[in-house]
Amino acid sequence: MTVRFYEETEDSLLKFAVIVARTEGKYVFCKHKSRDTLEVPGGHREPGEMILETAKREMYEETGAIDYSIEPVCVYSVISGDDADGEETFGMLCYAEICSFEKELHSEIEKIVIMEEEPESWTYPEIQPKLLCEMKRRGYF
């Protein structure tokens, strides 16, 4: 699996929004009800939705964030398979600073986990650590 980063791409190609979120200097990760691993908030774009709307919707659904700032960082892509001949799927990588959360979640997410370091057990270990690495490279933290 290959992950690439771009400054921009055609909007219609963006299928996902993924948000690296922090609160009080710590990372915000999600634990899905059916998994034992952690992931950053994010998900699929709905028909007719602007990609930043996708990011905001997923932030609320997966973290319960109600007071936050969010900004697009860059486009990322994932090429499945062991070589570059696989299909390239595009998403928008965003950054958010969360000030407050709702008291409970209303989605498939069991809980949020607030940590100083990256988790040892990722849901998407071939993708999401690379997204955090790119955020660090760009000076976000």
Query: What pLDDT digit, counting tens, does each position of 45-91 carry?
Result: 999 999 999 999 999 999 999 999 999 999 999 998 765 567 899 99
Query: What pLDDT digit, counting tens, does each position of 104-119 carry?
Result: 887 889 999 999 999 9
What predicted TM-score, i.e. pTM, was given to this entire model?
0.93
CA–CA distances in Å: residue 47 to residues 15, 38, 40: 10, 27, 22
Domain annotation for the chain: domains and CATH numbers: 2-137 (3.90.79.10)
Span 112-129, average pLDDT: 95
Spatial distance between the Cα atoms of 4 and 71, rounded to a whole number of angstroms:
19
Q: Quick one: pLDDT at residue 86? A: 77
Which of the four pLDDT bands, split at 50, 70 and 90, describes residue 141? confident
Q: Quick one: pLDDT at residue 81? A: 72
Could you tell me how far CA 86 lies from the centroid of its own chain? 22
